[in-house]
């Protein structure tokens, strides 16, 4: 049996920031059970950092976290609008824009009230960025990498990514049949604002003919020529997988709306429709588009995410018990390790167009990225 040691830590808090993600509950379960075993009290903070701003804190017990391993989402709730440094308190300026305030003092008061000595923060670059000022001020913050975009700097994999890829791949698989039956081009829009890992992996797994990612601006004329050559060779349908953040050469990302109450106000969406319309107008081939949206991040986590989330959660608890401060659990070359949590704040891990074995593998099976480097089998 493992020796019970905690280096003086008596009470910790755990929060889930940013968008929800399969595997969050698995991490909550692992952190809580491990900490309780070692005599550490665990408090769940509801709705990300908003729970510390508005004092929404609850004690977590073994019963509370039992039976949640296979549940999607998060039992604690989440928020992507709750950065304490820039929080919409409800006030409005004269022009109608929201008043954003620094409410960090409310966070410190909440931590002090509940005698929480350290925070386990589950999230992506936004959550780590929100945690960074508190880490710099002496609050011990241990990060666990969560994002379906797999774009957190310092780690090769984030939990939730494998499930999102599986969900997107399943949807792409399903449109093959209707595309083949009706001899259509179907454009499927997946998530990925600045990083194309989700589109690249799901597109490759599903055998998509065209994959468009933010890191490689595309030429729509090039894509249309590729589709024409496929048709001339007897391939009567084409599947296009496009990241929401993909953009044409010389163009901009398509913005669906702007949410001024959010620290990250831009909401992308509409690229699939634009690409679909362009293809149909230029080629005269029938074309349809599908936007997967939040379907990608929903449902129970796949087995891989349940395992890695549990490993991440255990590692986070170990870091706290070992006395380490302000670290981020990461996976590098198949091994669990940790880095400074500040190293991941305000940064994103992107696909390198000039050095990525996945890109090379996709091109080797005649995938088009809209950059002129393709051939039709």
For tokens 């994002």, name the residue: 147
For residue 62, pLDDT beyond 90: yes
For residue 155, pLDDT beyond 50: yes
* CB 156, CB 331: distance < 8 Å: yes
Residue 346 neighbours by CB under 8 Å, 6+ apart:
125, 129, 132
The model's pTM is 0.93
Question: Of 89 and 161, which is predicted with more confidence?
Answer: 161
Residue 148 neighbours by CB under 8 Å, 6+ apart:
19, 21, 158, 160, 161, 163, 164, 191, 198, 296, 297
The CATH code that applies to domain 11-159+301-344 is: 3.40.50.450
Task: With cut-offs at 50, 70 and 90, classify the pLDDT of residue 6.
Answer: low
Q: Show me where the domains of the chain are located.
A: 11-159+301-344, 163-298+352-364
Mean confidence (pLDDT) of the chain: 94
What pLDDT shows up at residue 329? 98
Q: From residue 226, give the alpha-carbon distance in Å to each of 63, 189, 283, 364, 371.
A: 56, 19, 10, 15, 11
What pLDDT shows up at residue 259? 79
Mind listing the pLDDT tens digit for each residue in 311-370? 999 999 999 999 999 999 999 999 999 999 999 888 899 999 999 999 999 999 999 999
Mind listing the pLDDT tens digit for each residue in 175-219? 999 999 999 999 999 999 999 999 999 999 999 999 999 999 999
- The three-point CA angle 59-126-146 to 5° equals 65
The residues assigned a catalytic role are 149
Task: With cut-offs at 50, 70 and 90, classify the pLDDT of residue 1.
Answer: very low
Same fold, 11-159+301-344 and 163-298+352-364: yes
Q: From residue 77, give the alpha-carbon distance in Å to each of 15, 45, 99, 122, 220.
A: 9, 9, 24, 12, 40
Other C-beta atoms lying within 10 Å of the C-beta of residue 372? 12
* CB 76, CB 46: distance < 8 Å: yes
For residue 257, pLDDT beyond 90: no
What pLDDT shows up at residue 375? 86
For residue 265, pLDDT beyond 80: no
Of the candidates 68, 20, 61, the residue with the CA atom closest to the CA atom of residue 41: 61
Question: Of 90 and 14, which is predicted with more confidence?
Answer: 14
Of the candidates 265, 264, 260, 269, the residue with the CA atom closest to the CA atom of residue 293: 269
The whole-number average pLDDT for the span 119-130 is: 93
Q: Which CATH superfamily is domain 163-298+352-364 in?
A: Phosphofructokinase domain (3.40.50.460)
């Amino acid at each position: 049996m493992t020796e019970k040691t905690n280096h003086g830590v008596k009470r910790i808090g755990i929060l889930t920031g940013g968008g929800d993600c399969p595997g969050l509950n698995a991490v909550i379960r692992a952190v809580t059970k491990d900490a309780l075993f070692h005599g550490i009290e665990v408090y769940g903070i509801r709705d990300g950092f908003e729970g510390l701003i508005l004092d929404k804190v609850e004690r977590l017990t073994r019963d509370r976290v039992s039976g949640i391993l296979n549940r999607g989402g998060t039992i604690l709730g989440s928020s992507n609008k709750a950065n304490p440094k820039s929080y919409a308190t409800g006030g409005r300026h004269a022009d109608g824009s929201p008043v954003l305030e620094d409410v960090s003092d409310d966070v410190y008061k909440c931590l002090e009230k509940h005698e929480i000595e350290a925070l386990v923060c589950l999230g992506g670059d936004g959550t780590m960025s929100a945690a960074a000022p508190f880490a710099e001020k002496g609050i011990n913050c241990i990060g666990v990498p969560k994002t379906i975009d797999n774009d957190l700097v310092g780690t090769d994999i984030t939990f939730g990514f494998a499930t999102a890829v599986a969900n997107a791949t399943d949807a792409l698989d399903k449109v093959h049949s209707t595309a083949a039956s009706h001899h259509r081009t179907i454009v499927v829009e997946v998530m990925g604002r600045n990083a194309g890992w989700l589109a690249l992996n799901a597109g490759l797994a599903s055998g998509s003919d065209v994959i468009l990612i933010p890191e490689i601006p595309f030429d729509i004329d090039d894509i249309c020529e590729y589709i024409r050559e496929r048709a001339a060779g007897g391939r009567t349908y084409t599947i296009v997988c496009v990241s929401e953040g993909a953009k044409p050469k010389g163009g901009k990302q398509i913005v669906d709306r702007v949410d001024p109450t959010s620290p990250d106000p831009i909401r992308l969406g509409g690229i699939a429709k634009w690409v679909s319309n362009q293809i149909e107008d230029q080629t005269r081939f029938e074309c349809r588009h599908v936007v997967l949206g939040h379907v990608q991040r929903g449902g129970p986590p796949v087995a891989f995410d349940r395992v890695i989330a549990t490993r991440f959660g255990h590692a986070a608890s170990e870091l706290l018990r070992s006395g380490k401060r302000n670290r981020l659990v990461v996976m590098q070359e198949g091994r669990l390790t940790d880095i400074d949590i500040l190293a991941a704040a305000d940064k994103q891990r992107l696909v390198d167009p000039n050095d990525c074995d996945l890109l090379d593998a996709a091109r080797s099976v005649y995938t088009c990225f809209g950059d002129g480097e393709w051939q039709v089998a």
